[in-house]
Amino acid sequence: MQTIVRLVVGIPIAAIVTFALFMLMRVLIFTDVAFDEEERPDLRFDINPEVERLNARSRDTSIEDVNRVDPPPPPPQIERQAADLPTESLTTIVGRIPEFEAPQLNNNNVSFNVSDRNAQPLVRIPPNYPPRAAERGLEGTCTMQFDVTPDGTPTNIVATSCTSSMFERASIRAVERWRYSPKVENGVPVARRGVVTDIEFRMAPE
């Protein structure tokens, strides 16, 4: 019963409130605001403004107003003296060129045989000082004997005598890196046998 009473009372009240809100919104939306024509600011926008043209006469410059500059004088002409040709002949001044007979080349006067020569050292690299001998301050000499092949390479290397056995291996390795100009007989390189040389081991002075 109470629910029916609430509906009967609430529906008219809700209808009145809804109608009042509707009228208020209508007044707010459709109210015309009158602006005074005199109060409206005169706002204008010109996309292509006119630029004031400068007086063309003020920019013109006559030829008479320009200072005239005289051109520089031409460079002086230098007179060139021509060399006089000699009146005497070259043979009178220098003398007559002597005449020589042309050399005669024939098979009897020319020989292409290369003279004989012995093996000559080209590269002799010093040996490396043995570390043990250097620590003891030991010096010495090794006498080496070897052969030289036709291409100048030492072979059959032997240490015939050494003051210390510590120098023997270093001496052999040094001779292996040596190079010789081979022995020549009748223009043909041949082997040279029994080459003997001494290798000295000396400490550098402190």
Domains of the chain by residue range? 120-201
pLDDT at 5 over 70: yes
Compute the distance between CA of residue 151 and CA of residue 32 in angstroms, rounded to an integer.
125
Beta carbons within 8 Å of 156's beta carbon, 6+ residues apart: 146, 147
Class of domain 120-201: alpha beta
**Which amino acid is residue 14, in one-letter code?**
A
pTM of this structure? 0.44
Identify the band that residue 173 occupies on the pLDDT scale cut at 50, 70 and 90.
very high
pLDDT of residue 178: 94
| Segment 62-67 mean pLDDT | 60
Most confident of 36-40, 105-109, 145-149, 183-187: 145-149
